[in-house]
Structure 1
């Protein structure tokens, strides 16, 4: 059985490859971009099964199949629930939400094996593209309620320059330079904030892109970020987050 993984995050692709090996399925082909996928599918026979991440670094993975006609079975891998659910209705074998669970992977593979020799309908990639282009975005938190003494203060998300943790507590800094205690962890904040506007640069800091004043090269291939109102401590992008940070700001 020929299996191909299309996933732009190489550690995630290798992890999925190892998980499939535990199921006694060998994956010899890992593709990481639209361009790489187009080239491979043009030059090689169709695989039996494709694990397909929806969003790749250079575009939507469906662009591959707009340039190369294939009839392989597809299991979608995605971090976006609304995409996955709608993709499932478009006759894919199955879908897996990231991070991929071993039991769910096993169930998806078993479903593929059961239908392996059947003539199942092909995925309507044009319909899927329309879903991606018109699908609703998740509702991100647009304001925060802060307790100040006996009063409650409402702060809009676009008025927040950054969030940070200190002494096991979380704080926000406004665009006017005021700091407030917030009753939510950075882990939960990261899920509730619009990823186009906010980015977690390390374990203790989440930044608003509109507040970035300067970005400076730092030691060990890291970056230092200067914000226009926050001066409490250095904001350093951890080395493992530098690549994602550069993608985010571009």
Structure 2
């Protein structure tokens, strides 16, 4: 049995690999793949070399260069999928009907175990009609009007655990060699992002502002600001982060005022 993993967040990808190795010790694991481009290249290589396709795909939806649906439609995917998702309730119902199962981040080992049991039960029962139904589902999803998809949930290391934090719980991201996530209640998580530039592209600009080279701040964490003599601005954060001296350059001052006023 070969299982293909598709996940662009390194922390989640490593956790997923470990869990699959424990739950399916006899399986061959391909991936993790992190982009639409790499998924297409993987299946093109398989077909050009007459290798067997994977028996099961465990896939995140939102990837670095698009959504996995796009790749699945391009390659004509005809194997079962377990989705990893943080999508809305409507979409989750659709995933439930058109895939083996769906997993919410952070991945619960028991949920993954249940999904794998369902996969084996489906295989034992003959697994008929999946391909046509799944392709119809992909067409319907990709034809829906789309708006920019921003990350609504983040993961990071905290007290020897991988924690999941929502956008609303996030106060700011701070670069100090590593990229740290600070929560509204004062927790400090180590993330796996390499640069703030990379992270900024994933965030909703209505909620987050790039104050300077070191910091991306959430609107709900801002108590106010005051102008300084050198035309810079000093942001005042809400407790428990009021001690952080957060400056906005004079070049970004006008943009910050526009952002804070909505």
TM-score between the two structures when normalised by the length of structure 2:
0.56
Relative distance call for 1:75 and 1:205 in structure 2 (3 A) is same
Structure 2 gaps, min length 5: 47-51, 153-163, 174-180, 186-202, 218-224, 226-232, 237-241, 248-262
Q: Which residue of 2 aligns with 1:126?
A: 139
CA RMSD of aligned residues (A): 3.4
Return the alpha-carbon distance in structure 2 between the equivalents of residues 65 and 19 of structure 1.
24
Relative distance call for 1:31 and 1:97 in structure 2 (3 A) is same
Q: Which residue of 2 aligns with 1:203?
A: 182
CA apart distance, 1:235: 4.1
Return the alpha-carbon distance in structure 2 between the equivalents of residues 68 and 121 of structure 1.
15
Q: Which residue of 1 aligns with 2:96?
A: 88
Q: Could you report, residue by residue, the CA deviation over 1:127-164 in whole angstroms, capped at 9, with x for unpaired residues?
A: 13245x469x9xx9xxxxxxxxxxxxxxxxxxxxxxxx
Return the alpha-carbon distance in structure 1 between the equivalents of residues 86 and 204 of structure 2.
22
CA apart distance, 1:31: 0.5
CA apart distance, 1:199: 6.4
* Secondary structure in structure 2 of the residue aligned to 1:230: strand
Relative distance call for 1:204 and 1:15 in structure 2 (3 A) is closer
Return the alpha-carbon distance in structure 2 between the equivalents of residues 208 and 20 of structure 1.
32
Relative distance call for 1:208 and 1:94 in structure 2 (3 A) is closer
More RCO (CA 8 Å, sep 6+): 2
Q: Could you report, residue by residue, the CA deviation over 1:150-209 in whole angstroms, capped at 9, with x for unpaired residues?
A: xxxxxxxxxxxxxxxxxxxxxxxxxxxxxxxxxxxxx99x5548xxxx863132569995
User: When the two structures are aligned, how many residues end up with a matched partner?
Assistant: 174
Counterpart of 2:78 (choices 63, 67, 71) is: 71
CA apart distance, 1:98: 1.3
Return the alpha-carbon distance in structure 2 between the equivalents of residues 48 and 213 of structure 1.
43
Structure 1 gaps, min length 5: 141-186, 217-222, 237-250
TM-score between the two structures when normalised by the length of structure 1:
0.59
Q: How does 1:163-182 map to 2 (within 5 A)?
A: none
